[in-house]
């Protein structure tokens, strides 16, 4: 669908690429994850157990970063996975603020059973592309992702610095 934005040709081109990328990514996610409903899992729940399966136990904060979810959203996801016996949470003895999440035996059995269907679904989605196109898509997506991650990291550092300065001013001025 052509856009009606009256910006420069470069802006219109970027907007067009963004819309196509977003729609394609959404369609890929829906089709590739359609099978999860048969296992009673949401996409976020699957992302958690898959990350734990491949990367091992990790803190809830690191897990949120790995699966690109907010820590607030992840708390509810993990609550439900723990309720269903798929993961276990434990506070670190050395730092009680850190909560580690571990895949249970039941969770590992589920992901082991589920992963072949998941990979087959992804393979099916990408069959419309030639191998060279898949490689090109991977290269472009990585380039874009790495560039934006650098920007996000810079913004996170800036936010932390502003927060520290604000806290310091409040402490110094007694506000």
How distant is the alpha carbon of residue 44 from its chain centre?
Answer: 8
CA 106 – CA 41 distance, rounded (Å): 14
* HSE-CB for 82 with a 13 A CA cutoff: 13
Q: Does residue 102 share a domain with residue 145?
A: no
Q: Does residue 47 share a domain with residue 122?
A: yes
Q: Does residue 94 share a domain with residue 73?
A: yes
Q: Does residue 112 share a domain with residue 151?
A: no
Q: Where residue 61 sits, what CATH number does that domain have?
A: 1.10.10.10
Q: For all residues of the chain together, what is the average pLDDT?
A: 87
Q: Does residue 73 share a domain with residue 38?
A: yes
Q: What's residue 54's pLDDT?
A: 95
**Is-contact 118 35, C-beta < 8 A?**
yes
Residue 119 lies in a domain: yes
Q: Does residue 134 share a domain with residue 124?
A: no
Q: Does residue 166 share a domain with residue 102?
A: no
Q: What's residue 96's pLDDT?
A: 76
- 156: pLDDT strictly greater than 70: no
The DSSP-derived string for 85-116 is TSEEEEE-SS-TT-EEEEE-HHHHHHHHHHHH
Residue 27 lies in a domain: no
Residue 167 lies in a domain: yes
Q: Does residue 138 share a domain with residue 85?
A: no
Cα 30 to Cα 15, 25, 117, 134, 135: the distances in Å are 23, 9, 14, 19, 22
Contacts of 12 (CB under 8 A, 6+ apart): 3, 5
Structural domain including 148 reads 129-175
Q: Does residue 174 share a domain with residue 112?
A: no
Residue 103 lies in a domain: yes
Cα 5 to Cα 11, 13, 18, 23, 50: the distances in Å are 9, 10, 13, 18, 40
Domain total of the chain = 2
Q: What does the pLDDT average to over 151-169? A: 65
Residue 16 lies in a domain: no
Share of the chain above pLDDT 90, in %: 56
Tens-digit pLDDT profile for residues 5-46: 788 889 999 999 999 999 999 999 999 898 899 999 999 999
Q: In which band, very low, low, confident or very high, does the pLDDT at 151 lie, cut at 50, 70 and 90?
A: confident
């Amino acid at each position: 669908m052509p856009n009606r934005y009256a910006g420069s040709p470069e802006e219109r081109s970027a907007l067009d690429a963004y819309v196509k990328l977003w729609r394609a990514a959404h369609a890929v996610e829906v089709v590739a994850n359609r099978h999860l409903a048969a296992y009673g899992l949401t996409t976020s729940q699957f992302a958690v157990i898959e990350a734990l399966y491949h990367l091992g136990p990790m803190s809830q904060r690191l897990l949120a970063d790995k699966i690109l979810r907010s820590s607030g959203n992840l708390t509810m996801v993990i609550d439900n996975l723990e309720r269903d016996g798929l993961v276990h949470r434990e506070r670190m003895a050395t730092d009680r603020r850190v909560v580690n999440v571990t895949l249970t035996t039941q969770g590992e059995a589920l992901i082991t059973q589920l992963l072949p269907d998941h990979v087959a679904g992804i393979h099916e989605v990408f069959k419309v592309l030639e191998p060279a196109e898949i490689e090109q898509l991977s290269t472009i997506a990585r380039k874009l992702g790495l560039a934006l991650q650098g920007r996000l990291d810079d913004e996170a550092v800036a936010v932390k610095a502003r927060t520290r300065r604000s806290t310091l001013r409040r402490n110094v001025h007694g506000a």
